[in-house]
Amino acid sequence: MKGSAFPMKTRRLGVGLASLALVVSAAACTGEGADATGAEGGGSDPVKVQIAPEDGAKKVRPDLPVTVTADNGEVKTVKITQSGGAADEKESPEGEGGGKKATAELNDVKGSLNKDKTEWVSTQTLVPGADIKVTATAENGDGEETEVVSEFSAEAATDGKKLEVQSNFPQSGETVGVGMPVIVNFDLPVTNKLQVENAIEVVSEEPAEGAWNWFGDKMAVFRPSEYWKPEQKVHVNMRLAGVQAADGVYGVKNQRLDFEVGREQITTIDDKSHQMVVERDGKEIKDFPISNGDASTLKYTTTSGVHLTMEKYAHLVMDSATVGVPKGHPDYYKLDVNWAVRFSNSGEFTHAAPWNGSLGQANMSHGCTNMSTADAKWFHDESLMGDPFIVEGTKRELEVDNGWGYWQRSWDEWLEHSKTGKADKTDDEGTPGASTSKPENGEKENAESGEKDQKDDKESAGAGN
């Protein structure tokens, strides 16, 4: 109970019975933080433990670190429990994965000790609006252990300034291709991008390294340096609760994303030979005749570069108005197509085109990759979101923010665009830096906006034929 004396547990190793019989108690102090001093007499001087924030503190900024210091001893254990608000969620919200155990693990506040073990500092932010209890133990040179407790409350996030994940790709439970990035869309602009990058941890079963890039102020994208190794599980721990994403804007909850990487399937199109080759796990399994954009205009030229398959439809209505060719224009069209697989946001799909008699011979479409009905159905059925789809030989280069063109950047370029500037190893726990701020820093760095906002990744209308 706040304001009352906390019992100090003491233990002395290798001393007499009289010393072992000592019972010591001390009150939780105010001012600098909660503290306690061990028993006096016999051997080493007593150890003094201090915790900040102090016991009884109200509305503590959730992105300020918890510190535990030991004077004349070493910090042995620190346990932080959080209750109230999002900290009481028993399960991850629908679609986020992880369940009760994962949610509890994400709310466990981690920290690090200095070299001489006299100071422990948290590296994870607190849940806004939660009640916090810090229990710490320290030990002096004679093995006498002292425990001290500090209880305080974290400041709640205010309406209109609560950062949440609006959507993410992939979603929990999905199986994806080896090129699939992790895409996180936020509901509010993020200016403290470094803080947010450091609060999200990507962990894979197979060792890899990756980094985050930003596309506008609301979209963060994680990509490995090379394609994921196939047949493995990937976990994304989003420890966003308490992270100050912008001035006065705090993440409100922690959540976890779990997905699997499936088999390796890579498709390559040669625009000049009008052929599509599909390789699976390093072996060619299909060779299809196709017809790409006729290149009469830039708009009708299929983009070259490393695309990713994004979504697929058994049936889709393609309307040229979605890419700026409105009804009434001489080039306007509206088509019903079958077995469509999207590979950009500029209206490019693979799909069945039974009307095209030039498959394997000439490029006759408005930018899409035309296929026979049987071939298009096979490709539709066998594609996973995030499969690499490479087009070679056209005069129109895929933009990095056109659909999921993130592999258009070299790894060095990708690192240059990361706010941390460092690769994060996915087989190790932890991120390149801490997500908390030192109290004296107060205001965080406001990073400049990245590229223009990316188009909606779930846009359903196409624009090619």
Top CATH class, 265-392? mainly beta
CA dist 239 → 80, 104, 108, 292 (Å):
15, 11, 10, 44
Spatial separation of the C-alpha atoms in residues 438 and 411, rounded to whole Å: 32
Tokens of 348: 């490019």
Alpha-carbon distance 298 to 184, whole Å?
Answer: 31
Q: Supply 63's token pair.
A: 């992105």
- Among residues 387, 307, 288, 299, the alpha carbon closest in space to that of 346 is found at 299
Query: Is 62 in contact with 128 (CB distance < 8 Å)?
Result: yes
The pair of structure tokens assigned to 204 is 């894979």
Q: According to the model, what pLDDT value does residue 207 have?
A: 95
Q: What is the pLDDT of residues 1-24, one digit of tens each?
A: 333 333 333 333 333 322 322 222
Q: Cis link prior to 330 (omega < 30° from 0)?
A: no
pLDDT of residue 94: 41
Q: Does an H or E element contain 353, and which?
A: none
Judged by average pLDDT, the poorest of 372-376, 379-383, 422-426 is: 422-426
**Chain-centroid distance, C-alpha 153:** 27
Mean pLDDT of 314-334: 87
Q: Which neighbouring-strand residues pair with 462?
A: 318
> Looking at residues 203-214, what average pLDDT do you find?
97
| Range 444-448, long-range pairs (CB < 8 A, 24+ positions) | 444/192, 444/194, 444/195, 444/244, 445/192, 445/194, 446/191, 446/192, 446/246, 446/247, 447/191, 447/192, 447/193, 447/194, 447/214, 447/419
The arithmetic mean of pLDDT across residues 108-127, rounded, is 95
Partners of 184 in the β-ladder: 168, 220
CB-based contact 464:318 (threshold 8 Å): yes
Helix (H, G, I), strand (E, B) or coil at 264: coil
Complete edge-to-edge strand list for the sheet that includes strand 305-308: 283-289, 275-280, 265-270, 388-392, 305-308
Establish whether domains 162-263+406-441 and 265-392 are of one fold. no
What are the strands of the beta sheet with 209-214, ordered from one edge?
165-169, 182-186, 219-224, 209-214, 424-425
Query: For all residues of the chain together, what is the average pLDDT?
Result: 85
Domain 162-263+406-441 matching CATH 2.60.40.3710: the answer reads yes
Q: How far apart are CA 435 and CA 25, in angstroms?
A: 35
**3-class DSSP state for residue 57?**
coil
Question: Based on the number of CB atoms within 10 Å of its own CB, is 447 exposed (0-12), middle (13-18) or buried (19 or more)?
Answer: middle
Q: What percent of the chain has pLDDT over 70?
A: 79
**Residue 203: closest CA among 238, 245, 168:** 238
Supply the DSSP string of 430-463, one letter for each residue.
S-SS-S---GGG-SPP-PPP-SSPPPPTT---B-
Range of weakest confidence among 52-66, 275-289, 445-459: 445-459
> Quick check: 189 pLDDT over 50?
yes
> What's the maximum distance between 2 C-alpha atoms anywhere in the chain?
101
Distance CA 363, CA 370 (A): 9
Question: For residues 417 and 137, what is the distance between their CA atoms, to the nearest angstrom?
Answer: 42
Nearest CA among 1, 81, 9 for reference residue 47: 9
Residue type, 30: T
Distance (Å, whole) CA 249 – CA 243: 8
User: How many whole angstroms separate alpha carbon 68 and alpha carbon 78?
Assistant: 8
3-state DSSP helix/strand/coil % of the chain, to nearest 5: 10, 35, 50
Q: Are 223 and 181 in contact (CB under 8 A)?
A: yes
Mean pLDDT of 356-361: 98
Catalytic residues: 351, 368
Q: Is the pLDDT of residue 457 over 70?
A: no
Contact 294, 415 (CB under 8 A): no
Single pTM value for the model: 0.83
- CATH code: domain 5-153 is 2.60.40.3780
Cα–Cα distances in Å, from 217 out to 58, 71, 194, 366? Answer: 32, 44, 12, 33
pLDDT recorded at residue 284: 98
Domain ranges in the chain are 5-153, 162-263+406-441, 265-392
Is the model's pLDDT at 97 over the cut of 60? no
pLDDT of residue 352 exceeding 90: yes
Between CA 414 and CA 380 the distance in angstroms is 30
Question: Each residue of 262-281: pLDDT tens digit?
Answer: 999 999 999 999 999 999 99
